[in-house]
Amino acid sequence: MLQIDLWKRVLIWALCAAGLFMALPNAFYSRVEGVNDARAAIELQGATAELTDQAAGWPSFLPASLVNLGLDLRGGAHLLAEVRVDEVYEARITALWPEVRDTLRPLRSEVGTIRRQNAPADELHVKIGNPAGMQAAMAAVRALAQPVVSLTAAGEQDLTVRGQDDVLIVSLSDAEKLATDERTVQQSLEIIRRRIDEVGTREPTIQRQGSDRILIQVPGLGSAQELKDIIGTTAQLTFQPVISRTTDGSTDAGIGEEVLPSLDESGVFYVLEENPVVTGEELTDAQPSFDQNGRPAVNFRFNPSGARKFGDYTAENIGNPFAIVLDDEVISAPVIQSHIPGGSGIITGNFTVEESTNLAVLLRAGALPAGLDFLEERTIGPELGADSIEAGKIATIVAFAAVLVFMALSYGLFGIFANVALILNIALIFGLLSLIGATLTLPGIAGIVLTVGMAVDANVLIFERIREELKTARGPARAIELGYEKALSAIVDANITTFITAVILFAVGSGPVRGFSITLGLGILTSVFTAIFVTRLIIVMWFERRRPKTIEV
Amino acid sequence: MRLKLVPQETNWDFFSRPKLWLGISVVLIVLAFVSFGLRGLNYGIDFRGGTTIRTESAQPVDVGAYRDALTPLELGDVVISEVFDPTFDADQNVAMVRIQAQEGQESVTAEVVAQVEAALQSVASDIRFVSVESVGPKVSGELIQTAAIAVVLAIAAVLVYIWLRFEWQFALGAVAALVHDVILTIGVFSELQIKFDLAIIAALLTIVGYSLNDTVVVFDRVRENLMKFKKRPLREVLNLSINETLSRTFMTSLTTLLALIALFVLGGDVIRGFVFAMIWGVVVGTYSSIFVASTVLLMLGVKRDWSKSQDTTGNQFGNVDA
């Protein structure tokens, strides 16, 4: 009758033991955390006596993965940034103009004069003198298009060219825009990750969200502003030809030109060609250094293609000034003294040592391909997190104790069996959370507390059923068996429906809500497991040993 | 001696006044709508955008002085409230400052936050800013949309599941109870003006899950009894089923409430609104699974010939309990 195969018994206990084993490090949270930090440090910078001592604080044969604490429990900074993907279209279009110009020049006899016109940022409008030559002009410009580099848009071209009266309109094709967005966001993600890693904080979360958003969470950081400074909203370095220098900020810039202020001379503006000669993307290295006058400066070196462009440009423009532009401010505009062939140079300005060091870091990490808009920012102080953990701990313990006492009072011995399962249940939740590296948030703690309350439900269903069956069934063994059998469908239906809501919460929720859905979902799994298998096994083992003639539930 | 919440055998008639119970629910729902229409929800920044700053100081909070310090900054709608909580230390005085989303900005800029912090510092020198959260209007609009989608999706998924496992009448009964619970919860939040933020949506969905849990257990017994007592009137079968599961319903609700009340009292003010929603949901959910879901089922009627349907139609997903 009440029989459970040996292998099942072994498996059930093994699973429980594994859960307890995985959950164990969480009972010694700060100690294991310190050990993990020390181990990571040893891996990174080699062992010192102090670190080795610290790393020995937790036996290496024990698991050391912990439940991550969410920002609301640990304190830190949270940012949701949107990448301005449109900016890249603009840069592409701007870069296209010289190419289009050079393509059309040889056809001048056919198309007449060519002039760039004002246009929306993501389109290039070229007015041609002779509208009859439009077909030829379009054909020539179309030849500039290249296949889109992406898996989903095979065979499509990156440019669309159309004519409108005497205006030739070039824009990026939709497939190219999609592919560009993808690249821009990936690149931004990578650069942000590198910059944050360079600061070296523990367990930052840097995730893509949706098509053009990036979620950044860094525990232990003082404020969201600090995080923004590290990411360096836009560190765009360009080298642009200088057309003129002026003190009038409202000077009209011609087409393909822009007016930018000087960084350290107030009231001075430069009119520059919009199209950069070289950009920061082609830098391979940047180091803080000092110029010949002993002032802080930054040394940089270009990659081969950047070096060639820079070399060619300096060779052709000796005696002309060119501007070093960082984030739309002219750092300096030296006059080119000679051909610079090696592809390396120095940026001087009124820097402090700290500024030049920061600038070098920013340049080395690479410029963000596009600007970021911050849609959401949160800073949670560590003390608030500590208070929340403390309150959550006490609440969980009290909730736990109340439920344990209540169950024992209501169901006697069987209640105690259910309590053993409940304790195992909590251990299993923590074990699973550590195993999958999930993050525990404050609502997540609420999820655990709710699980404590609801986990007994499956047992209650079974026990109530056993009580009912005792009235009619032949003997206690049969009643227990029937109780389990008949309660099962209610347990399964009730928990699947709750599980559905947990899954939906996980899918659409973010941050704390997601943390809640994880503990709720795991809690459902473990509570069904403990009710159906663990308490049953305990009851069967007790029954086999005692063989009671009557039982009271 | 065992603790018994309800007598071993109950034979209460839950359908003697069906109109009364449904009437109470309808009146409550109407009240919820009226409250929602008149007062509206007290949306947190998750849903309306803006910034909240949580301050802590050893000096007592002087809301008037805080307000005077912030008025010259011209930030529009600024709400300052002191937070009280039994878990605070004696010299822990906490206030929340909420600033509306500023015109034309996706997120409150660092300058605004710095200005506010400086202004408050001039009033209370030892003030600390333990959390600063800003949400731009763009995201808040989306958040409210996804939240609504989540709730609708959850209810729809449940409708389909119960339909597959039971019959459409059961599904409608269960969903009527869910909608009832969600509306009443929103009504309570608008009436008491408790902050309604993203976490409350999680609570709403949990209420959906919990209420359903209860309803499904009753329905499961109804299905079993319908097969057992083929000739008894539906009303009697429903009543019997509710009475049989009553002890379990009370046990589970009580253990859940015990745990939640512990969290409500001791869990700190940050999640109090969230826990309140769940406590309310457990109470309403327990009520609705008996008085709304079953009453609707009684009114809709249900197909009686279960023995045939079991092996011929695909309404039941295999027999899980086999």
Q: Which residues pair with A279 in a beta bridge?
A: A238
Task: Kindly state whether residues A476 and A347 are assigned to the same domain.
Answer: no
**Residues of chain B with C-beta less than 8 angstroms from the C-beta of A400:** 259
Instruction: Mention every residue, 6+ apart, whose C-beta is less than 8 A from residue B195.
Output: B42, B43, B44, B273
Q: Where among A378, A393, A428 does a domain terminate?
A: A378
**Residues of chain A with C-beta less than 8 angstroms from the C-beta of B147:** 508
Task: Kindly state whether residues A364 and A300 are assigned to the same domain.
Answer: yes
Q: Is the entire prediction scored with pTM above 0.90?
A: no
- Best mutation site among B271, B283, B319 for testing chain A: the one with the most A CBs within 10 Å? B271
Distance CA A283, CA A276 (A): 14
pLDDT over threshold 90, residue A53: no
What values do phi and psi take at B3, rounded to 5? -75, 125
pLDDT over threshold 80, residue B319: no
**Residues of chain B with C-beta less than 8 angstroms from the C-beta of A380:** 130-131, 133
Which of residues 216 through 235 in chain A touch B, CB cutoff 8 A? 223-225, 228
CB-based contact, A512 to chain B, within 8 Å: yes
* Min Cα separation B228/chain A (Å): 13
pLDDT for residue A181:
86
Task: Kindly state whether residues A255 and A149 are assigned to the same domain.
Answer: no
Q: Where among A177, A196, A224 does a domain terminate?
A: A177
pLDDT over threshold 50, residue B321: no
Task: Kindly state whether residues A522 and A390 are assigned to the same domain.
Answer: yes
pLDDT over threshold 90, residue B14: no
Answer yes or no: do B248 and A460 touch at CB < 8 A: yes
Task: Kindly state whether residues A505 and A520 are assigned to the same domain.
Answer: yes
- DSSP string covering A480-516: HHHHHHHHHHHHHHHHHHHHHHHHHHHHH--HHHHHH
Per-residue pLDDT tens over the stretch B44-87? 888 888 888 999 888 888 888 888 888 888 888 888 888 888 87
Answer yes or no: do B259 and A464 touch at CB < 8 A: no
The CATH number of whichever domain residue A354 belongs to comes to 3.30.1360.200
Q: Do the domain assignments include residue A465?
A: yes
Which of residues 55 through 114 in chain A touch B, CB cutoff 8 A? 72, 80, 82
Per-residue pLDDT tens over the stretch A65-112? 888 888 888 888 888 899 988 888 887 787 788 788 888 888 888 888
Of the given ranges (A72-81, A445-454, A535-544, B23-32), which has the lowest mean pLDDT? A445-454
- The token duo for B316 is 């039941």
pLDDT for residue B34:
94
- Give the residue-averaged pLDDT of A155-182: 84
The CATH number of whichever domain residue A437 belongs to comes to 1.20.1640.10
Asked if A311 and A341 touch (Cβ cutoff 8 Å), the reply is: yes
| Of A224, A391, A400, Cβ closest to residue B87 | A391
**Residues of chain A with C-beta less than 8 angstroms from the C-beta of B267:** 391-392, 395, 445-446, 449
pLDDT over threshold 70, residue A362: no
**Residues of chain A with C-beta less than 8 angstroms from the C-beta of B161:** 496-497, 500
Q: Do the domain assignments include residue A212?
A: no
pLDDT for residue A104:
85
Number of neighbours of residue A33 by Cβ within 10 angstroms: 16
3-state secondary structure of A217: strand
Answer yes or no: do B202 and A443 touch at CB < 8 A: yes
CB-based contact, A315 to chain B, within 8 Å: no
Which of residues 395 through 414 in chain A touch B, CB cutoff 8 A? 395-396, 398-400, 402-403, 406-407, 409-412
Smallest CA–CA distance from B145 into chain A, residue: A508
Confidence of residue B32 (pLDDT cuts 50, 70, 90): very high
**Residues of chain A with C-beta less than 8 angstroms from the C-beta of B213:** 454, 457, 494-495, 497-498
| Of A406, A452, A501, Cβ closest to residue B154 | A501
3-state secondary structure of A158: coil
- Best mutation site among B252, B280, B320 for testing chain A: the one with the most A CBs within 10 Å? B252
Number of neighbours of residue B48 by Cβ within 10 angstroms: 21
The stretches of B193-290 forming alpha helices (DSSP H) are: 198-228, 234-266, 272-288
Q: Do the domain assignments include residue A248?
A: yes
Give the β-pairing of A167-172 and A123-128.
antiparallel
Q: Do the domain assignments include residue A48?
A: no
CB-based contact, A386 to chain B, within 8 Å: no
3-state secondary structure of A91: helix
CB-based contact, A498 to chain B, within 8 Å: yes
Task: Kindly state whether residues A353 and A398 are assigned to the same domain.
Answer: no
Confidence of residue B310 (pLDDT cuts 50, 70, 90): very low
* Min Cα separation A355/chain B (Å): 21
CA distances from B319 to B166, B228, B314 (A): 12, 17, 11
- The token duo for A248 is 């009038």
Asked if A57 and A31 touch (Cβ cutoff 8 Å), the reply is: yes
* Min Cα separation B56/chain A (Å): 10
Smallest CA–CA distance from B254 into chain A, residue: A453
Q: Do the domain assignments include residue A218?
A: no
Answer yes or no: do A409 and B2 touch at CB < 8 A: yes
Q: Do the domain assignments include residue A196?
A: no
Confidence of residue B322 (pLDDT cuts 50, 70, 90): very low
* Locus of tokens 């069996």: A417
Distance CA A1, CA A474 (A): 12
A115-154 burial, b at 16+ Cβ within 10 Å, e below that, comes to eeeebeeebbbbebebeebbeebbebbeebbeebebeebe
Answer yes or no: do B157 and A502 touch at CB < 8 A: no
Average pLDDT, chain A: 83
Taking one residue from A and the other from B, the number of pairs with CB-CB distance under 8 angstroms is 245
Task: Kindly state whether residues A412 and A274 are assigned to the same domain.
Answer: no
* Min Cα separation A340/chain B (Å): 42
Task: Kindly state whether residues A247 and A288 are assigned to the same domain.
Answer: yes
**Residues of chain B with C-beta less than 8 angstroms from the C-beta of A223:** 132
What values do phi and psi take at B135, rounded to 5? -130, 130
Single-letter amino acid, residue A61: F
pLDDT for residue B28:
93
pLDDT for residue A514:
80
**Residues of chain B with C-beta less than 8 angstroms from the C-beta of A410:** 2-5, 251
Domain that holds residue A453: 6-26+63-70+383-546
| Of B87, B217, B251, Cβ closest to residue A490 | B217
- Best mutation site among A457, A467, A518 for testing chain B: the one with the most B CBs within 10 Å? A457
Confidence of residue A475 (pLDDT cuts 50, 70, 90): confident
Distance CA A444, CA A515 (A): 5
Q: What is the complex's ipTM, to 2 decimals?
A: 0.82
Asked if A517 and A487 touch (Cβ cutoff 8 Å), the reply is: no
Q: Which residues pair with B43 in a beta bridge?
A: B196
Percent of chain A scored above 90 by pLDDT? 7
- Give the residue-averaged pLDDT of B6-31: 84
- Give the residue-averaged pLDDT of A520-539: 90
Per-residue pLDDT tens over the stretch B119-148? 888 888 888 888 888 888 888 888 888 888
CB-based contact, A496 to chain B, within 8 Å: yes
A287-320 burial, b at 16+ Cβ within 10 Å, e below that, comes to bbeebeeeebbbbbbbeeebbebbbebbeebeee
Per-residue pLDDT tens over the stretch B191-203? 999 888 888 888 8
| Of B133, B165, B248, Cβ closest to residue A493 | B165
Q: Which residues pair with A17 in a beta bridge?
A: none
Q: Where among A378, A411, A433 does a domain terminate?
A: A378
Task: Kindly state whether residues A498 and A534 are assigned to the same domain.
Answer: yes
Task: Kindly state whether residues A392 and A528 are assigned to the same domain.
Answer: yes
B149-180 burial, b at 16+ Cβ within 10 Å, e below that, comes to ebbebbbebbbebbbebbbebbbbbbbbbbbb
Task: Kindly state whether residues A374 and A430 are assigned to the same domain.
Answer: no
pLDDT over threshold 90, residue B157: no
| Count of structural domains within chain A | 3
Per-residue pLDDT tens over the stretch A407-466? 999 888 999 999 999 999 999 999 999 988 888 888 888 888 888 777 788 888 899 888
Of the given ranges (A445-449, A507-511, B163-167, B270-274), which has the lowest mean pLDDT? A507-511
* Min Cα separation A368/chain B (Å): 20
Which of residues 514 through 543 in chain A touch B, CB cutoff 8 A? 516-517, 520
What values do phi and psi take at A56, rounded to 5? -80, 0
Answer yes or no: do B132 and A379 touch at CB < 8 A: yes
Answer yes or no: do A494 and B130 touch at CB < 8 A: no
* Min Cα separation B269/chain A (Å): 9
- Best mutation site among B270, B286, B289, B319 for testing chain A: the one with the most A CBs within 10 Å? B270
Nearest by Cα to B208 from B186, B250, B175, B164: B175
Per-residue pLDDT tens over the stretch A260-310? 888 777 788 888 888 888 887 777 777 778 888 888 888 888 888 888 888
| Of A392, A406, A504, Cβ closest to residue B267 | A392
Distance CA A216, CA A223 (A): 13
**Residues of chain A with C-beta less than 8 angstroms from the C-beta of B104:** none
**Residues of chain A with C-beta less than 8 angstroms from the C-beta of B56:** 383
Q: Do the domain assignments include residue A489?
A: yes
Q: Do the domain assignments include residue A409?
A: yes
Long-range contacts of A477-481 (CB under 8 A, 24+ apart): A477/A1, A477/A2, A477/A543, A478/A1, A479/A551, A480/A2, A480/A539, A480/A543, A480/A551, A481/A1, A481/A2
Answer yes or no: do A399 and B244 touch at CB < 8 A: no
Task: Kindly state whether residues A151 and A245 are assigned to the same domain.
Answer: no
Distance CA A93, CA A173 (A): 12
